[in-house]
Chain A
Amino acid sequence: MEQNRIVWDGNMAASQAMRQAKIDVVAAYPITPSTPIVQNYSQFVADGDVDGEFVMVESEHSAMSACVGAASAGGRVATATSSQGYALMIEVLYQASGMRLPIVLNAVNRALAAPLNIHGDHSDMYLGRDAGWINMVANNPQEVYDLNLCAFKIAEDYSVRLPVAVNQDGFLVSHTTEALNYLPDDEAYKFIGDYKPHNPMLDPEKPVTYGAQTEGEWHYEHKMRHEHAMYNSFGVIEKVLAEYKELSGREYKFVETYQVDDAEEIIICMGSVAGTTQLAVDKLRAEGKKVGLVSVRLWRPFPKEELAKYLGKTKTITVLDRSAPLGSTGALYNEVAAVMVDNGYNAVLLNYVYGLGGRDMTIDHLTEIFNSAKECSDAGKRVKPLIQTINLRGKELSFY
């Protein structure tokens, strides 16, 4: 298909996809670094480029609450947030998924205070890990645009009916302009399709009750239905991504891999660091080192089976977590470790906590990580601490 080439940052890519989706209600509140999404959408409203209602609420808690009300009422709904706003929303994120409402959230990931920090890490995404939302991770503006269009279609599929968060790294993706391709408006909308209401509050012929109380008699059954829908969504996500590839020529998988077939050292990560890691892999491959990359695209539901395909033969696996685990190993590490145990795999596992509050992660840092893993590989066992840090101030600080 004929596509348009343009330069957008991650926030604009999300905003434009939201415009093309013809959303009925957007309820939102500004917060760095997702603020431009709210501003861009405001401009669409001011210019008459969108027909739906835009509700500028007084907090993120009310933003998600209004989204839940609007979605229950019977139409397409989306919003955006980051960090503290995400944290304020968290109660209602559980409500949205528990009521099986297909809301799309652009989560522009940022550190959680204290200390206050406006830059990108995955603390907020990890906070929402168990909120029952489908979570996808976009590593650059092109992916933000593409995954947004897919998100509406996945969320609204009758067999899924779950909210979807499209995560992107604050600033590193949200404020980084890149050339990308986007679909013509009518093609984008045709791909998503008209919203098909399911039990809308606004149909007076059939009143509905949303958010009833269940207690011991029914709560378990409801939660397991939710769980079931989550696992069912694998098939729908796969189908939607395949349809999108057909339409756009761009392919997305549950986990993206790079040079993993014969890799002896593999890094597993999420987010924009995948791009940098790819460059590190290129550099080390040129030196004859067998290194590879696995980037997790689908954070929830977690694609254990898909991931397992790539981890059986490697000697070491280094998992990068962009959030302080504060008392355990990182959340992504734990997922990977479970996959290793479930499949009887024996590679040495290492965990790096990196990039907190937007701290740089360069090709040199990633090279250092690969080299460190190689030492374990050569020794045939873990000869490094399980949890390590990179690009962190050390001995010169008095508290070490």
Chain B
Amino acid sequence: MSEMKQIKNLKQFSTSKERFQGGHRLCPGCSHSIIVREFVNATDDELCVSTATGCLEVCSTIYPYTSWDVSWIHIGFENAAAAISGVEAMHKSLKNNKKSFSDKPMKFIAFAGDGGTYDIGFQSLSGAAERGHDFIYVCLDNEGYMNTGGQRSSSTPIGGATTTSPAGKVSYGEKKLKKDMMQIMAAHGCEYVAQSAPSNWKDMVKKAQKSFAASGPVYINAVSPCPTEWKFDPSMSMEISKVMVESRVVPLYEIENGSKVTVNYKPKNHVPVEEYLGMQGRFKHLFKPSNKHVIEEWQKNVDAKWEYLLRREEAGI
């Protein structure tokens, strides 16, 4: 990893070059645009961006408009990583053969939702990571297929009601635990793997800058609260994001070179998972007496994962 650039303070950050412009059509309160801006504005390097089909894509490039002030490509739902690997390979090829368009440093980012990452784009991401392209993959994780009306993905957490895992008379919603993409990507030997939340902007920007300083594949899991399908008031997105972090539902941590775990933030006051679940319509049914066991299971899982991460950190492996 080359030397890390200094983290910008809020003032510097707020006046940095705007790569993702307003006027896009994302929902009010959508966390996607906040994460994207935290990420792409954290560097002065030139950028090429690919985006998988999904909310960010359909809302930012409706012809003849574009929100992107950097070169951008969208091909399909399942191939954001393959697409950016092609762009990066061309960059390398032209550079090696002294045919580059510019001498300026160039970085490569793929943005995709959890559907385009955990599910349909998983193979493409795995292939690109294994090949060791110099790219940063940012998963905008809103725990379901929100662009198509809120269907379940393998990132949907247990108990979540979606349009394809609805809660009903005999069902408490999604039955499976969320897939652990962080560990999977770390197992690929990625130079840098990190999880962040948009409410903790310093953490996000720092992780973005660490990503830009890396030379190998980087995976960022950025949780992205979705007012439309998680069913909360759009003004509450960052509050929800904060509670996710404070309740340890989303631990802010990183894994370097495939193994070294660091928990970047340890909440001082223990916020129970119940509080987080209670803020969203998608978990409303869990508060019926018959579904109480799901909340207990949630808490158990969150605690176990947190303990696991702390043990990994302490052991330095």
Question: A interface vs B, CB < 8 Å?
Answer: 24-25, 27, 51-53, 55-59, 61-62, 65-75, 77, 91-92, 95, 197, 200-205, 207-215, 217-218
Contacts and interface: CB of A to CB of B under 8 A. Distances in A.
Interface string B71-90: 11111101100111111111
B79 to A, nearest CB: 4
Given A62-B127, A211-B74, A213-B62, A204 B106 contact: yes
A239 B124 CA distance: 40
Interface in B90-120: 90-94, 96-97, 99-102, 104, 106
Nearest to A205: B102
A202 B99 CA distance: 11
B46 interface: yes
Given A65-B79, A66-B83, A52 B73 contact: no
Contacts, number: 176
B232 interface: no
Contacts of B72: 201, 207-210
B82 A73 contact: no
Interface in B268-289: none
B48 interface: yes
A202 B85 contact: no
B50 interface: yes
B13 interface: no
B48 A52 contact: no
Contacts of B106: 202, 204
A23 to B, nearest CB: 9
A52 to B, nearest CB: 5
A212 B66 contact: yes
19 contacts: A52-B93, A52-B97, A55-B85, A57-B85, A57-B131, A59-B123, A59-B124, A62-B82, A62-B128, A66-B82, A68-B75, A69-B88, A69-B90, A77-B86, A204-B104, A207-B68, A207-B72, A209-B68, A211-B73
B76 A95 contact: yes
Nearest to B57: A213
Contact of B86 (A59, A73, A205, A218): A73
B58 interface: yes
A75 B92 CA distance: 11
Contacts of B92: 53
5 nearest A-B pairs in the assembled complex, by CB-CB distance: A69-B86, A58-B127, A66-B86, A73-B90, A65-B82
A343 B87 CA distance: 47
A201 B48 contact: yes
Given A57-B131, A211-B74, A218-B63, A92 B90 contact: no
Nearest to A218: B63
Contacts of B75: 65, 68-69, 92, 95, 211
A197 B63 CA distance: 22
Contact of B48 (A25, A61, A73): A73
A68 to B, nearest CB: 5
B126 A200 contact: no
A213 B124 CA distance: 22
Given A57-B85, A62-B85, 16 more contacts: A59-B124, A62-B79, A62-B124, A62-B127, A73-B87, A77-B90, A203-B71, A203-B101, A204-B102, A208-B71, A209-B72, A210-B72, A212-B61, A212-B62, A215-B62, A217-B63
B: interface residue count bin: 35 or more
Contacts of B126: 58
B317 interface: no
Contact of B101 (A61, A66, A74, A214): A74
A214 B57 CA distance: 12
A68 B87 CA distance: 8
A74 B90 CA distance: 7
B82 A70 contact: no
Nearest to B92: A53
Contacts of A217: 63
Interface in B37-66: 46, 48, 50, 57-58, 61-64, 66
B4 interface: no
A30 to B, nearest CB: 14
A200 B97 CA distance: 16
Contacts of A73: 48, 86-87, 90-91, 94
B208 to A, nearest CB: 19
A117 B63 CA distance: 43
Contacts of B123: 58-59, 62
Contacts of B90: 24-25, 53, 69-71, 73-75, 77, 202
Nearest to A75: B90
Nearest to B69: A207
Nearest to A56: B131
A150 B84 CA distance: 29
B124 A61 contact: yes
Nearest to A219: B63
Contacts of B62: 212-215
B38 to A, nearest CB: 20
B130 interface: yes
A91 B121 CA distance: 14
A213 B85 contact: no
A58 B92 CA distance: 20
Contacts of B73: 68-69, 72, 201, 209-211
Contacts of B85: 27, 55, 57, 62, 66, 69
Contacts of A92: 75-76, 79
A94 B104 CA distance: 33
Contacts of A207: 68-72
Interface in B254-312: none
Nearest to A66: B86
